[in-house]
Copies of this chain bind each other. A is one copy, B any other.
Amino acid sequence: MNDLLLRACRREPVERPPVWMMRQAGRYLPEYRAVRARADFLTMVRTPELAVEVTLQPVDLLEVDAAIIFSDILVVPQAMGMALSVDEGVGPRFHHPLATPADVARLRDVAPEESLGYTLDALRLARRELGGRVPLIGFAGAPWTLASYMIEGTGTRTFARAKAFLARHPAEAHGLLQRLATAVGDFLVAQVAAGAQVVQLFDSWAGALAPADFRAFALPYLAGAARRARSAGAPVIVFAPGAGWALEEIAQATGADVIGVDWQVEPGAARRRLAAHPVAVQGNLDPCWLYAPPREIARRTRAMLDAFGGRGYIANLGHGILPDVPVAHARAFVDAVREWRSTEAAR
């Protein structure tokens, strides 16, 4: 049983850091595209057999040290009653974005076993099929990120609608964020009960907010969800890309076991800034460097590992792997981690 990930989360000694990649069950894999040719994205998410098939692919094909359940952060708003489409390459789209406080009031609360049972079933099946080979990760989107998608309806560069909602309806925005924190926390607790051994919270749009707004509208609800999830007993990873300025505050407020670091923060700086906090770190190669020749990928990966050090560290990209990266390049990244040894790693 490869338990490198679990030991890294607890900052215990490891022979080498574990490695996995955000969005590792994805379109860069021909085997994923073969499944995707038979079913659309949300059908894959909602069909445990299909979700588990692609969840296991990178474990089999690339020998990564963790499986992450195939799902989407927007299943929670969908479970609250928002009609959702996902066209890969275009992105997700809510048919009726939240425009007014009345729209917010119409949302349903979420009972995970009822409305998100397909992901819990997928976790149970994945745990069985993994048979202890590598740990299984569950995940969810953080409240601010979900709320901004629900208001924008789709991806955005300015977040003008979502932030206008905060500016015009602050009380209702806080109400929505609180409901999302509860829903997300409950969902993660249910995921752990269903077999997730680690859970990750993605606050993907944290970088859209100025510091004062992040502290008002994102961090308290991210922390609420993380602390609720943590009560289930599995390590919690918190990843807030674009908010590298806030690493210390995120560690402090969320009580997370692991802090994800995006590629805009230098590994050495992340380590120094988090040294006073009882956390492991995860990250952070810019996924675009997987376009470089494999030798350059290996060189950059080793430099990253040297800078982060071997203990309390999970090697990963600083963002999801991109769909047109050659599989051999993804493998060069994974292999560079698997072959790396630090003098301090085994301590």
Query: Interface on A for B, CB 8 Å cutoff?
Result: 155, 157-160, 163-164, 166-168, 207, 209-213, 244-245, 263-266, 286, 288-289, 291-293, 296, 318-319, 322, 324
Contact B318 A160 (CB under 8 A): no
Nearest chain B CB to A329's CB is how many angstroms away?
10
Select which of B164, B207, B212, B265 is within 8 A of A291 by beta carbon: B164
Q: Which residues of B have CB within 8 Å of A168?
A: 291-293
Contact A167 B210 (CB under 8 A): no
Q: Which of A155, A164, A210, A266 has the most C-beta atoms of chain B within 10 angstroms of its own C-beta?
A: A210
Contact B291 A264 (CB under 8 A): no
Contact B245 A264 (CB under 8 A): yes
Q: Which residues of B have CB within 8 Å of A244?
A: 245
Q: Which of A212, A264, A265 has the most C-beta atoms of chain B within 10 angstroms of its own C-beta?
A: A264
Contact B288 A158 (CB under 8 A): yes
Nearest chain B CB to A157's CB is how many angstroms away?
7
Select which of B157, B212, B265, B324 is within 8 A of A155 by beta carbon: B157
A to B CB contacts below 8 Å, 27 in the list: A155-B157, A158-B322, A160-B288, A160-B291, A160-B322, A160-B324, A163-B286, A163-B288, A164-B291, A167-B288, A167-B289, A167-B291, A168-B291, A168-B292, A168-B293, A207-B264, A209-B286, A210-B263, A210-B286, A211-B264, A211-B265, A211-B266, A212-B266, A213-B286, A244-B245, A245-B245, A245-B265
Q: Which residues of B have CB within 8 Å of A266?
A: 210-212
Contact B167 A296 (CB under 8 A): yes
Q: Which residues of B have CB within 8 Å of A155?
A: 157
Nearest chain B CB to A150's CB is how many angstroms away?
17
The answer for the CA separation of A16 and B98 in the assembled complex, in Å, is: 41
The answer for the CA separation of A115 and B245 in the assembled complex, in Å, is: 42
Q: Which residues of B have CB within 8 Å of A163?
A: 286, 288-289, 291
Q: Which residues of B have CB within 8 Å of A167?
A: 288-289, 291-292, 296
The answer for the CA separation of A117 and B244 in the assembled complex, in Å, is: 42
